[in-house]
Structure 1
Amino acid sequence: MKVIGFAGYSGAGKTTLVEALVALMKARGLKVSVIKHAHHHFDVDREGKDSWRHRKAGAYEVLLASDQRMALMREYAQPTQVSVHDMLAQLDPSVDWVLIEGFKHGDVPKIEVWRQQQDRLNKGKTLEPLFPHDAMVLAVVTDDPDQLPAAPAQPVLDLSQPQTVLQWLLAHADTLEYKN
C-alpha cells in the first residue's frame, strides 16, 4: 500500500482535498483507506444504541459489523498517543492507498495544504508552515502560491485542481510505498 499524509492547519482545505482524491482514486478502480485525526472526545455511535451501551458498560473494544461495514472502537483508560504506524497496522493491507488527514508531525511522507485564510480560522495566530523544516513534506498544495510565507523547495500544486494532485501522487507512487 502507498501512504501519504495531508497536513496543515484548520481551514486549509485538507478534508475537501482528501474527499476529492478518494473519489478520483475510486473512479480509477483503486481501493483507498483514510486515517483522520480527531480531537479528544468524539463518538461514532449514538447514545442508547447497543454499541454505545457496551462501551459505557466498560468494554475495552466494541466491533460493529454488518454485511456492508465494520467499525472498531477501543476505549483507553488513560489518554494514549497512538502513532500513525499503529493505525496503519489496523488497516486492510490489500488497499492501494492510505490517505492520512492531520498528524502534521507524523513521520510519514506528506503534502502540506496551505491557504492564507486559515489564519482567520486559527484565531489570528501567526502560522508557521511545515515545508521549510520538515523533510517529510514532499509537496505543497495551495490556492495562492504568492501568499505562501516562504518559497518552498518542494513542488507547489494547485488546491483547486485535485486531479493534478492525483497525477503527482501517481507519478511518485513508487516512493510512497509503505515499508513499516
Structure 2
Amino acid sequence: MLTSLVSYIQERSSSPLSEADLSLLEEAFIPKKLRKRQFLLQEGEVCKYIAFIVKGATRQYTVDEKGLEHVLNLCIENWWTSDRESFHKETPSIYNIDAWEETELLLLPKANGYYERVNAITAFTEMRIKLDDNQHMAAQKRLNMSKNYTADYRYEELTKLYPEFLQRFPQHLIASYLGITKETLSRIRHQSTKK
C-alpha cells in the first residue's frame, strides 16, 4: 500500500526520499480497510488522522436537523481526506466521512509526533504545499461556481474535471455535491443526452 503514497509524493516533489524517509513513512502510516458505508470519522469525534486513499472512494458530509445529507467532498484514489480543522485544533468534528466503496487507506496519526516528523521530510513538505495550494484554488473555484453559475454549468464543469465521479457515485451524491436537487440533476442529465 505504501508504494502508492511514495509514488504520489515523488510525483509532486523535486526532492528525493531517502531510505530514512521511507522508513519513517512506513512506520508512521497505518494501513486501514473500510467496508462500504463504514465510518472513518463521525460527527462529534475528534479527527485523529489524515488519510491517503490507496483504493476506493469516500464522501465527507454533514446531516442537517431534518436528517438531510449535504456532501462537502467526494474523494477517490490518490486523494486525501480528513477534517483538517478538527485534526489541527483537536475539536469535535461537524462532519462524517465514510467509505462509499470498499476502501483502503493509509492513516497518518497526530499522536506520537508522527505528523510533525513526517512533515519534516522535505519531499513530503513540498508535496503538502502543492496540495494545499491546489485545494485552496479548487475551493475558491467551487465557491465561486456555487454563487455565480447555473446548475447546468456546474454539472458540465464536474464532468470535465472529475468524469470518474459520474461512474463511482450515485446521482443523489453528485446532486448534493453540486448543491442541487436530484430532480434538477436528472433534468440536466436528460438534456445533455439530447445534445
Fold similarity call, TM over 0.5: no
Hey, which of these two has a bigger chunk of helix by percent? 2
More contact order relative to length (CA 8 Å, sep ≥ 6):
1
TM-score (normalizing by structure 2)? 0.24
